[in-house]
Amino acid sequence: MGRPALWLLLQFLLIPGAAAGIRPALRALGNLHLSSSSTSRPAVANNYLVRYIQQKVDHFGFHNAKTFKQRYLIADKHWRKDGGSILFYTGNEGDITWICNNTGFMWDVAEEMKAMLVFAEHRYYGESLPFGEDSLKDSKHLNYLTSEQALADYAMLIRHLKRTIPGAKNQPVIAIGGSYGGMLAAWFRMKYPHIVVGALASSAPIWHFKDLVPCGEFMKIVTRDFTKNGPNCSQSIHMSWGAINRLSKTSSGLQWLTKAFHLCSPLTSEDIPYLKDWLSETWVNLAMMDYPYASDFLQPLPAWPIKVVCQYLKHPHVSDSLLLQNIFQALNVYYNYSGQAKCLNFSQAATSNLGTLGWSYQVCTEMVMPFCTNGIEDMFEPYLWNLKKFSDDCYSQWGVRPRPSWITTMYGGKNISSHTNIVFSNGDLDPWSGGGVTKDITDTLVAITIPQGAHHLDLRAVEIAH
Amino acid sequence: MGRPALWLLLQFLLIPGAAAGIRPALRALGNLHLSSSSTSRPAVANNYLVRYIQQKVDHFGFHNAKTFKQRYLIADKHWRKDGGSILFYTGNEGDITWICNNTGFMWDVAEEMKAMLVFAEHRYYGESLPFGEDSLKDSKHLNYLTSEQALADYAMLIRHLKRTIPGAKNQPVIAIGGSYGGMLAAWFRMKYPHIVVGALASSAPIWHFKDLVPCGEFMKIVTRDFTKNGPNCSQSIHMSWGAINRLSKTSSGLQWLTKAFHLCSPLTSEDIPYLKDWLSETWVNLAMMDYPYASDFLQPLPAWPIKVVCQYLKHPHVSDSLLLQNIFQALNVYYNYSGQAKCLNFSQAATSNLGTLGWSYQVCTEMVMPFCTNGIEDMFEPYLWNLKKFSDDCYSQWGVRPRPSWITTMYGGKNISSHTNIVFSNGDLDPWSGGGVTKDITDTLVAITIPQGAHHLDLRAVEIAH
């Protein structure tokens, strides 16, 4: 469903200078509806080879001559020297095997495109650690964790593959990525158009930076996703913050909350901000993962998980305790769909496959994405974006200060019309779409909106009903 | 002379998306002949302001939060907020005031283009020293001397100017540069098209890198420039090496050479390779500076200096001593045109305005430009390009090793057709044209050849006959 149309689009990227031809294909894609099969396809078979390439730790300086092993995965079952192509996943903040197994799209189109598949791991994630165990230790070791260094790794890797694999030299390479990986795919085409003929940037919030989009967009979309499943649903979440605040004022209230939420350790009043952050993150993750089929990306989830969650959140105007018991039922969909969890731990990460520590450094340096809420257009407690405080927090955590304008200086912000051959795809349910490119910029910088689509739905495998 | 045509070309860069219109203007320029006035125009009046901007020492990492003062010059006499533009010189390896005074072109067109002129100094040159006096001390301090850091400085500076100068915000910026500065101008447009609408890259040998052009091109063009003024001229230089070799075998020969060349200190046999390098460099510099008027760029020179030099080199088949006396007369044109020099010093730099130390580091890191000679197609002793030896020399001088493929990975080598709005101009006398873009690549990546033109002649001021 829809795969042939997107595949057609990629084919257009392969025609030199003919990218203006993209548009007719787009029209077909615009009408596309995704499969709502609620069954999950088994994980992609691991029919790839694991390889390593020696990379400079610092591409942009010569004093440090150290190198490290970057991991990449390669699959050439369907690749043809004659008329083939190379699909190159620009790895993001996680273990590349996990990303590979969640990027069924590339496997789905490999045969039709006679494509070699390459999945490159982002430095400082998975096994690609420039300083081994010390890599995330401090700002000195983290100094080479930037998008520019990652893109240079990818450029070096592609040149290496073309030099060493007979038949690859003159083949077109298309960059593909989702989320931060989608930003990297788009930026890769912008900065290295001599290396990739085009890019598919899926759910890539390249505009989620200073002054480019309102900081409240993201949480407004999250809220909309819940409201869609009945206005009482987002209203219940909206009401829950006050209920928590009231209960957390007394020790008996804290005890009750600990029990009601089945928490693994007793709550103290100092925990409350963290508890609320954890709840917010849960609602955000549900919005990102609101896929039409059961999935297991950040957590095992049913099909259309928000719909399932909202079944418990139909009555906002009940007592605090009843409301929060309902909230627990909703949480349980996210944290205990498998029924295995004995208790919930609000300090747990959603998945260990994502490199949260490395990403928190990136957010504190280049990837400064402002978020805010007002509690009116969204279902959250009001929160103002405060760069000063953010910067101070970064400084105390990492000893570095963010450069909020840098990404726009480097990659152009909204002024990117001179580039070509980038497909930006966004699901209309995905909160990240607020910072993404959702309207065509030129004939060859095209936007695709996937109706009922959550976070990089298009990169996932086509679902097969069993 | 010709300035209106080049000016017209720049105007086309200002029309968004209309760069295809460049071509008719080009045709006019192709027929252009430059003034052969042999008078020198007085130096550009210093009607600019000197300004400084605080720049990050490292744009590509966050551990080092140090900043330094980058110098830039700004002139807004002819600038208009309404319909004006910004011409931005991407400084190369030298003192920016000296470059400014040798870039009369920008001053010549300022009024017609209602242009603000900005000349940005390249980090590690002139006053723009990231670590003050220690900047060139060792590879640790030199670590931030790269083209990428320099381009990031320029991007930051332009964003700063647009933010702080009322009326500048929405004005188009054109990058202009000559030689290495021309490479930077072209690369700036390639990497930051959101910041500059186009570039004039004058005498920019962006292809003088590994495997892109034959390593012997440069010296072949130098030789051709001398042959043009009579075949005996290059033949005399060709014969001179053997004469020097024979004479330097004996101490009386060395004494004689010291006297014949009016050297400031007595020659030893160890000096001979340096003496020959110095002679070669002199012939190269004459080829670069073979301007149609008296000039004072690297040295005070007469109009068409090679023609003057060749008047002394009409008889290649004479005795060694007579031949070398003639060579001295030729040298004297270059080193003592003013008649002030009491002796010649073959360890002297051509000009103190060029940052030769910083450039020698750049050549040992990113700017790895292969040169070679064979003594058959050129007038030099045979010299093979030996990367291993070059790398070892760099390592012993700076403790770094060159990356000969990096520039091509970063900036695309010959595969740059997806970029737009760059004018590459080359003089057909300029030895650097061998590594330059001398044929149109697309309708908006255009090449201009200046007949009888030496090194970035087009950026010099229009000559006015007195």
User: Which amino acid, B20?
Assistant: A
Cα R_g (chain B), whole angstroms: 22
Give the Cα-Cα-Cα angle A101, A104, A105 (nearest 5 degrees): 145
pLDDT at position A11:
60
Which pTM was predicted?
Answer: 0.90
Q: How far is CA B11 from CA B22, B25, B80, B84, B188, in A?
A: 9, 10, 15, 11, 19
pLDDT at position A337:
80
Residue B36 has pLDDT above 90, yes or no: no
> Which of B148, B405, B415 lies closest to A60 in CB terms?
B148
| Tens digit of each residue's pLDDT (9 = 90 or more) over B115-129 | 999 999 999 999 999
Cβ separation B63–A413 shorter than 8 A:
no
Would you list which residues of chain A are within 8 Å, Cβ to Cβ, of chain B?
Answer: 59-65, 139-140, 142-144, 146, 148-149, 152, 155-156, 159, 191-195, 365, 399-401, 403, 405-406, 409-410, 412-413, 415-416, 418-420
More confident call, A8 vs A100: A100
pLDDT at position B356:
83
Helix (H) or strand (E) holding A119: strand A115-120
pLDDT at position A383:
95
Could you please state the CATH topology (level 3) that the domain comprising A2-209+410-463 is classified under: Rossmann fold (3.40.50)
Residue B455 appears among annotated catalytic residues:
yes
Pairing of strands A67-75, A115-120: antiparallel
pLDDT, mean over chain B? 89
Residue A330 has pLDDT above 90, yes or no: yes
Q: How far is B32 from chain A (nearest CA, A)?
A: 31
Residues B430, B433, B456, B458: which is the catalytic one? B430
Q: What single-letter DSSP state applies at residue B70?
A: E
Across the range B383-397, mean pLDDT stands at 96
| Tens digit of each residue's pLDDT (9 = 90 or more) over A354-377 | 778 999 999 999 999 999 999 999
Outline where DSSP puts E strands in B360-443: 422-427
Q: How many CB pairs under 8 A join A and B?
A: 90
- What would the two tokens of residue B263 be? 């050297």
Least confident of A48-57, A294-303, B37-46, B323-332: B37-46
Cβ separation A63–B194 shorter than 8 A:
no
pLDDT at position A356:
83
Q: How far is A408 from chain B (nearest CA, A)?
A: 10
Q: Of the CATH numbers 1.10.150.20, 1.20.120.980, 3.40.50.40, 3.40.640.10, which one belongs to the domain with range B213-404?
A: 1.20.120.980
| Centroid of chain to Cα A173 | 22
B70 band by pLDDT with thresholds 50, 70 and 90: very high
Alpha carbons B438 and B445: distance in angstroms, whole number: 10
Q: How far is B288 from chain A (nearest CA, A)?
A: 30
Q: How far is B138 from chain A (nearest CA, A)?
A: 9
Cβ separation B410–A156 shorter than 8 A:
no
Dihedral angle over CA of A297, A300, A305, A306, nearest 10 = -70
A460 band by pLDDT with thresholds 50, 70 and 90: confident
| Centroid of chain to Cα B249 | 36
ipTM surpasses cut 0.85: yes
Pick from A339, A16, A57, A462: nearest CA to A198: A16
Q: List the single residue in B with minimal CA-CA distance to A364.
A: B62
Q: List the single residue in B with minimal CA-CA distance to A366.
A: B62
Give alpha helix (H) positions in A337-430: 356-363, 387-398, 406-411
pLDDT at position A23:
34
Alpha carbons A43 and A100: distance in angstroms, whole number: 10
Residue A17 has pLDDT above 50, yes or no: no
Residue B430 appears among annotated catalytic residues:
yes
Which residues of A participate in catalysis according to the annotation?
A: 179, 430, 455
pLDDT at position B454:
87
Alpha carbons B227 and B282: distance in angstroms, whole number: 16
Residue A463 has pLDDT above 80, yes or no: no
| Tens digit of each residue's pLDDT (9 = 90 or more) over A263-292 | 999 999 999 999 999 999 999 999 999 999
Q: How far is A413 from chain B (nearest CA, A)?
A: 8
Residue A257 has pLDDT above 70, yes or no: yes
Q: What single-letter DSSP state applies at residue B354?
A: B
Total residue count of chain A as it appears in this document: 466
pLDDT, mean over chain A? 89
pLDDT at position B32:
29
Mutate: best of B55, B59, B60, partner A, most A CBs <10 A: B60
| Residue entry with tokens 């807004």 | B76
Cβ separation B419–A193 shorter than 8 A:
yes
Q: Where are the domains of chain B?
A: 2-209+410-463, 213-404
Give A242-304 as a DSSP string: HHHHHHTTSHHHHHHHHHHTTBSS---GGGHHHHHHHHHHHHHHHHHT--SS-EESSSEE-SS
Cβ separation B410–A61 shorter than 8 A:
no
pLDDT at position B12:
59
Cβ separation A403–B62 shorter than 8 A:
yes
Q: List the single residue in A with minimal CA-CA distance to B402.
A: A62
A305 band by pLDDT with thresholds 50, 70 and 90: very high
Pick from A47, A50, A86, A87: nearest CA to A69: A50
| Tens digit of each residue's pLDDT (9 = 90 or more) over A395-452 | 999 999 999 999 999 999 999 999 999 999 999 999 999 999 999 999 999 999 999 9
Residue B375 has pLDDT above 50, yes or no: yes
Alpha carbons B208 and B436: distance in angstroms, whole number: 7
Cβ separation B194–A418 shorter than 8 A:
yes
Alpha carbons B401 and B118: distance in angstroms, whole number: 34
